[in-house]
Structure 1
Amino acid sequence: MTTNEITARTGAEATASAPALLLRPWAEADAAALAEAYRDESLRRWTSHSIPDEESALRWIREQGRRWEAGDRFAFAVVEAGAGERPVGHVVVKGVVPGGGSAEVGYWTAAHARGRRVASRALEALTGWAFATFAGQGLDRLELLHQADNEASCRVARACGYEQAGTLPAAPPAHPLEGHLHVRRRVSGVGP
């Protein structure tokens, strides 16, 4: 499947208050926007990566490309259709293993784009893409993890049909606080 096919299949529909979203692999040209997004204190609080400058952003983007080629992590820049190529968010499917049955999803929204349902629209598109793309490899469960005090992520998860399945204990340093586990299952023969 080519990048263009993936982008076309994952475009989220426009709403009255927000433009359509397109999901595409991260590109080196996104480094400045990625570094800018990570200057946001809220974003840094909820993510496990540190991207303090453009050089770090380039390394991160290149690693996403390597992982895409390896077939175990599929990271997408989220852009608004018709608004240029500046990313407004990020979604990812990770831990894809043929026959594994489950994988994990994650997301964030840049500060300048919050309040327009970017995360929920992009997550819904990613979920459909993941189930359609990897169903033949046995994928029937997607997991979403977030810190227990991240109420916005909890709302996004529930809005996209990810039911809370439990609370996970803190595991410092990567996960310094308790977390919520949300799960969405593929409905056989019905689509995402």
Structure 2
Amino acid sequence: MPELLFPDPELTDGVVTLRAWRPSDHAQRFAGFSDPLCQRFSWGSSEPFTEQHQLSWAGGGEESARLRGEAIGFAIVDAGDPGRVWGGASIYDIAVAEGRAAVGYWLAGHARGRGSATRAVRLLTRWAFDDLAVARLELTCGPDNSASQQVAERSGFTREGLLRSHLPFQGGRRDSVLFSLLPTDPASR
């Protein structure tokens, strides 16, 4: 797949906007992802998350994945104040030949409890189905991440089951709950 282009105009529902990450977002991105809850559920490494990890990913890995057509990451921001970062969301593990991709997200502590993640996931899923022609979106999370499971369900995803010992995670292996959404599902529109 060729490089992924950011939507123009940006994805928004009037409350949440998804836009490309900017260099000026660095401090908010690092502070938000450094939150203990993000680290518990989203940081797979056993070593502590540092600013260097973020700089390495934002400075090269993230853009390289976008240029290869494998993933695209967005800042979740306040639609009324697009400089205020609430979290991040992405479409990743894009398998064009299979018509499949995954969706992921995280929120800073100050942005939780307002439906921001659900709004972001809904925006991303519509874009993935309409613009990327994806036939199946997957969402996985840890079995103990009930908030993420609620976001998946509120976004219309169907729980399919448990992937045992699914991935390396924080020095061991983690099970993952698997959800999916198809463009033909009523909730996808």
TM-score (norm 1): 0.84
CA deviation map 1:31-64 (0-9, x unaligned): 1111111221111001035683433322221221
CA deviation map 1:62-100 (0-9, x unaligned): 221221111110111100012241310111111223222
1:76-155 map, 5 Å: 76-135=74-133, 139-155=134-150
Rounded to whole Å, the distance in 2 between the matches of 1:186 and 1:25 is 24
Aligned match of 2:17: 22
Please give the secondary structure, in 2, of the residue aligned with 1:115: coil
Rounded to whole Å, the distance in 2 between the matches of 1:39 and 1:142 is 27
Aligned match of 1:12: 13
Rounded to whole Å, the distance in 2 between the matches of 1:27 and 1:144 is 25
Q: 1:109 to 1:133 in 2, by over 3 A?
A: same
Whichever residue aligns with residue 54 of structure 1, its letter is E
Aligned match of 2:63: 65
Greater shift, 21-30 or 69-78, is seen at 21-30
Rounded to whole Å, the distance in 2 between the matches of 1:67 and 1:172 is 20
Q: Give identity over the alignment, percent.
A: 31
Whichever residue aligns with residue 26 of structure 1, its letter is W
Higher RCO (CA 8 Å, separation ≥ 6 residues): 2
Rounded to whole Å, the distance in 1 between the matches of 2:84 and 2:49 is 18
* 1:54 aligned to which of 51, 55, 75: 51
Whichever residue aligns with residue 12 of structure 1, its letter is D
The answer to which structure has the higher strand fraction is 2
Q: 1:149 to 1:112 in 2, by over 3 A?
A: same
Aligned match of 2:163: 168
Cα displacement (A) at 1:116: 0.8
Whichever residue aligns with residue 26 of structure 2, its letter is A
Aligned match of 1:38: 33
Please give the secondary structure, in 2, of the residue aligned with 1:161: coil
Question: What residue ranges of structure 2 are gaps of 5+ in the alignment?
Answer: none
Greater shift, 154-163 or 83-92, is seen at 83-92
Aligned length: 180
Aligned match of 1:156: 151
Question: What residue ranges of structure 1 are gaps of 5+ in the alignment?
Answer: 14-19
Cα displacement (A) at 1:176: 3.1
Q: CA RMSD in A?
A: 2.3
Rounded to whole Å, the distance in 1 between the matches of 2:35 and 2:5 is 33
**Conserved? CA contact 2:156–2:188, under 8 Å:** no
TM-score (norm 2): 0.85
